A and B are shown apart, each in its own frame.
Chain A
């Protein structure tokens, strides 16, 4: 039984959900999803990330978050993402705590809330959360002590906002700040992808000219058009004249769920090859959130080719995470003088 006051996000009482991400002065406090964040906050994240990109280039550490403790709360195993968050935190001189809570541990009975309350007792400033249930980061943000910030590192199929921001950063670095003239195609398992959902929100908030998803019917969620995208089932049509092609990873489980017959057939229809890439603009960039399944969604020649910016996405990922962390741990109602 919690004595903590929880913010009411009851839609019946008319409070706006995603505004729990901002404090009363419109400053970032939690980073849970791109939804509910306006263009200016997204631009601020990108601009701040630019400054940090410079820090990384001189292999420096800055003392900005010295004395702060950041806890990685990963309920879903992920070395990659956890490592980039850890690096980002350390480059800001924060202390990092890594808690890999496998599902078998929580099946021993400790509820998510109890885990949280125990951690709060350890004087933490920020939780970075990854969980297989959609809505987990939102739930945690609604139940933590008021001074703690929550960063979503991926919740179920719902959102992966830092990934989307580093993707936007990558696009901005390669194509300029005006997204209005851009055609962006996201290709692959949209149904199961939190990355795709966050990317769609970010692209639309940044006023991208044309946002497209390309996938077989079985890998598209219902009414996805409502999110502001054009739907294509044919790869060549979908990436025609695209400025940016984002390939998503295909997981092996999709064959088990009778969603696809085989990786080979998927590659035949949706794999990005050098031949098919020609349907996009000649200066189109190829992106992928990683890790790549070579020969399944993308062939090596493209992944390693001149149009690929995949490796730079990883570098930008650290700068973007540094930006979000420092914005969220900056002054907020409750800890301003």
Chain B
């Protein structure tokens, strides 16, 4: 596997790229929304680094997952904290690792249940192989090609670090 930059380095890159992108798109008062759990940690850092004015929001997608009939209800759901009005907001949606795209699909469904945003910009630290839905990151720290059986996960909240695992060979 190729070398993975540590989260701190990736955060630097993402913050810079994101700032540029927001300026390009003319987005001035974005609402940053971090997806529990890893995405919320990342968003907390980014929110501080970009000195965003609107308070940080978080989202728990447990109730919007598409695998309820396989996995069932997660008893440890964290509260989603969103402002009452997302109508016409420019949202920056933040997650730690983008893989299949299903988490993002669930998050977007949940956001739309709150209201109609003006736009959603997707930010992730690691954009890895394994997409199952047509979802793309607008800003990502690093792209990773992983093979079947390789997993990467963010641990935290302090320090933020990557946990890389490989399933035992069959």
Contacts and interface: CB of A to CB of B under 8 A. Distances in A.
Interface residues of B, number: 19
B109 A330 contact: no
A285 to B, nearest CB: 24
A331 B76 contact: no
Q: Residue among A58, A323, A327 with the most chain B CB within 10 A?
A: A58
Q: Residue among A47, A50, A51, A61 with the most chain B CB within 10 A?
A: A51
Nearest to B75: A47
Contacts of A124: none
A156 B164 CA distance: 56
A209 interface: no
A331 B71 contact: yes
Interface residues of A, number: 22
Contacts of A62: 63-64, 113
Interface string B57-101: 000001110001111111111011010000000000000000000
Given A54-B77, A58-B80, A62-B64, A27 B72 contact: yes
Contacts of A64: 63, 68, 73
B66 to A, nearest CB: 10
A44 B74 CA distance: 9
B104 to A, nearest CB: 16
A55 interface: yes
Interface of B: 62-64, 68-77, 79-80, 82, 109, 113-114
Given A54-B79, A64-B63, 12 more contacts: A27-B72, A47-B76, A51-B76, A54-B77, A60-B114, A64-B73, A326-B73, A327-B73, A330-B68, A330-B72, A331-B68, A331-B71
Interface of A: 27, 44, 47-48, 50-51, 54-55, 58, 60-64, 323, 326-327, 330-331, 335-337
